[in-house]
Amino acid sequence: MNDYSYGIIPFSLLDGEPRYFIGRSSDADGTTGFWKFPKGHKEEGETDLQAARRETKEEIGIDVDEGNVLTGQSFEESYEFTYGAENKRGAGIVQKVNTYWLAEVNEEVEVQLNEEFSEYRWATFADTMELLPDNSRDFLVEANRVLQSII
């Protein structure tokens, strides 16, 4: 089974150096999980980018203006995981594909985390790479390369 999500990699430029918004997921049992960017599934009638912007607003309270999204290129992350039988989708192997766009936001913006996140930070590229799971780093390397080429 394939599962597609769409998200934004929020960044802020501080002294010409990008800082990335990264949040730590909240697990259902209240414990903290892994670090990630906001993302989610598309609703009927939405474009991929509309879904990414809506999910960012819902999950972290940042309303990403379409004019601040670097739409020339998206970045894809893919990995495989297994659902157990207790999952609402049933047991099985899932090929997860997340598509992200970079978007510049003001680091001073008020962040309002929903229940999917337990904490967040604005981190340098190096710090963001340290926080992300190993299977989530390649797409950020490419996104950072593109961003560095235009700032």
- The whole-number pLDDT of residue 1 equals 83
Q: What is the CATH number of the domain that holds 127?
A: 3.90.79.10
**Percentage of the chain lying above the pLDDT 90 cut:** 71
Range of the domain at 31: 2-150
Using an 8 Å Cβ cutoff, are 59 and 114 in contact?
yes
For range 74-98, the mean pLDDT: 80
For range 110-133, the mean pLDDT: 95
Tell me the whole-structure pTM to 2 decimals: 0.90
Integer CA distances (angstroms), 41 to 11, 32, 38, 56, 123, in order = 21, 22, 11, 11, 25
- The whole-number pLDDT of residue 80 equals 87
Domain count, the chain: 1
Using an 8 Å Cβ cutoff, are 33 and 125 in contact?
no
Confidence class for position 58, pLDDT limits 50, 70, 90: very high
Residue 30 in this model has a pLDDT that exceeds 70: no
Using an 8 Å Cβ cutoff, are 7 and 40 in contact?
yes
Confidence class for position 87, pLDDT limits 50, 70, 90: low
Instruction: Tell me how far apart the alpha carbons of residues 122 and 10 are, in angstroms, rounded to a whole number.
Output: 9
